[in-house]
Amino acid sequence: MKITNEIVEKHGLNLDEFNKIKKILKREPNLLELGIFSAMWNEHCSYKSSRIHLKKLPTKGKQVIQGPGENAGVIDIGDDDAIVFKIESHNHPSYIEPYQGAATGVGGILRDVFTMGARPIALLNSIHFGEPKHPKTKSLLNGVVSGIGGYGNCIGIPTVAGETKFDETYNENILVNAMAVGHAKKNKIFYSKAKGLNKSVVYVGSKTGRDGIHGASMASAEFDENSEEKKPTVQVGDPFTEKLLMEACLELMKDNSIISIQDMGAAGLTSSSVEMASKGSLGIELDLEKVPCREENMTPYEMMLSESQERMLIILEDGKDKAAKKIFEKWDLDFVIIGKTTDTNNLTLKYNDSIQGEIPIDALASKAPIYDRKWIRKKPQKDKVNIKELKKIKIEDALIKILSNPNHSNKSWITNQYDQMVMCDTAQKSGSDAAIIRIHNKDKAIAVSVDSSANYCKSFPLTGGKQIVCENWRNLISVGAKPLAITNCLNFGNPENKEIMGEFAECLEGIKEACEFLDYPVVSGNVSFYNGTNKKNISPTPVIGGVGLIKKLSKPISHNFEHNNSTILVIGKTFGHLEQSVLLKEIYSINKGMPPEVNLRNEKNNGECLLKLINKNLILSSHDISTGGLIVSLAEMSIGSNTGIKIHKPKGLTNSINYFFGEDQARYIIEIKTVDLSKVDKILKDNNVFYENIGMTQSDFFEIEDELKINIKDLYKINNEWYNNY
Partner 1 sequence: MKSSVIVFPGSNCDRDIAVALEKMQFKNKMVWHKDTSLPKSDLIVIPGGFSYGDYLRSGAIAGKSLIIDEVVKAANSGCLILGICNGFQILTETGLLKGTLLRNKNLKFINKDVNIKVINNSTKFSNKYKKDEILKINIAHNEGNYFTNSNHLDELKKENLIAFKYCDEKGNINEETNPNGSLENIAGIYNQKKNILGMMPHPERMVDEIISNKDGINLFSSLLN
Distance CA 445, CA 484 (A): 13
Which lies closer to partner 1 via its Cβ, residue 381 or residue 615? 615
Question: Residue 452's closest CA among 102, 91, 48, 121?
Answer: 91
Which lies closer to partner 1 via its Cβ, residue 29 or residue 149? 149
Give the helix/strand (H/E) hosting 657: helix 656-661
Q: Which amino acid is at 314?
A: I
Which lies closer to partner 1 via its Cβ, residue 441 or residue 678? 441
Sequence-separated (6 or more) residues with CB below 8 Å from residue 326: none
Which lies closer to partner 1 via its Cβ, residue 25 or residue 422? 422
Angle between helices 677-686 and 600-615 (to 10 degrees): 140
CB-side neighbour CA atoms (13 Å) of 170: 27
In angstroms, give the least distance from the CB of 154 to partner 1: 4
**Contact criterion met (CB below 8 Å) for 109 and 87:** yes
Which lies closer to partner 1 via its Cβ, residue 412 or residue 720? 412
Number of neighbours of residue 330 by Cβ within 10 angstroms: 12
In angstroms, give the least distance from the CB of 418 to partner 1: 6
Distance CA 180, CA 725 (A): 31
Is 44 in the active site? yes
Distance CA 103, CA 94 (A): 9
Distance CA 149, CA 151 (A): 5
- 90, 128, 214, 623: which one is catalytic? 90
Phi, psi dihedrals of residue 68, rounded to the nearest 5°: -60, 155
DSSP state of 539: P
**Cα–Cα separations (whole angstroms), residue 371 to 51, 166, 216, 300, 329:** 8, 33, 18, 30, 46
DSSP state of 355: E
In angstroms, give the least distance from the CB of 291 to partner 1: 23
**Cα–Cα separations (whole angstroms), residue 343 to 114, 196, 340, 353, 420:** 29, 9, 10, 18, 48
In angstroms, give the least distance from the CB of 570 to partner 1: 29
Buried b (16+ CB within 10 A) or exposed e, 201-231: bbbbbbbbbbbbbbbbbbbbbbbeeebeebe
Question: Residue 83's closest CA among 439, 339, 398?
Answer: 439
Which lies closer to partner 1 via its Cβ, residue 421 or residue 653? 421
- 11, 44, 92, 183: which one is catalytic? 44
Which lies closer to partner 1 via its Cβ, residue 30 or residue 642? 642
Angle between helices 712-719 and 395-403 (to 10 degrees): 40
How many helices and strands, by DSSP H and E, does the chain display? 26, 28
Question: Residue 89's closest CA among 69, 112, 67, 70?
Answer: 112
Which lies closer to partner 1 via its Cβ, residue 413 or residue 575? 413
**Cα–Cα separations (whole angstroms), residue 113 to 85, 248, 489, 657:** 6, 14, 16, 46
Which lies closer to partner 1 via its Cβ, residue 68 or residue 105? 105
In angstroms, give the least distance from the CB of 157 to partner 1: 8
In angstroms, give the least distance from the CB of 604 to partner 1: 30
**Contact criterion met (CB below 8 Å) for 697 and 566:** yes
In angstroms, give the least distance from the CB of 434 to partner 1: 16
Distance CA 620, CA 144 (A): 36
Give the helix/strand (H/E) hosting 571: strand 567-571
**How far is Cα of residue 2 from the mean position of the Cα atoms in its chain?**
42
Classify burial at 344, counting beta carbons within 10 Å of its beta carbon; exposed 0-12, middle 13-18, buried 19 or more: middle
Distance CA 302, CA 300 (A): 5
**Contact criterion met (CB below 8 Å) for 356 and 34:** no
Phi, psi dihedrals of residue 687, rounded to the nearest 5°: -100, 10
Name the site residues for partner 1 (rule: CB under 8 A). 146, 149-150, 153-156, 238-241, 243-244, 330-332, 412, 415-427, 438, 553-556
Which lies closer to partner 1 via its Cβ, residue 248 or residue 457? 248
Which lies closer to partner 1 via its Cβ, residue 330 or residue 394? 330
Distance CA 312, CA 300 (A): 18
In angstroms, give the least distance from the CB of 415 to partner 1: 8
Phi, psi dihedrals of residue 159, rounded to the nearest 5°: -95, 110
Which lies closer to partner 1 via its Cβ, residue 241 or residue 537? 241
In angstroms, give the least distance from the CB of 424 to partner 1: 5
DSSP state of 134: S
Distance CA 246, CA 251 (A): 8
**Contact criterion met (CB below 8 Å) for 564 and 620:** no
Any idea which residues carry the catalytic annotation?
44, 90
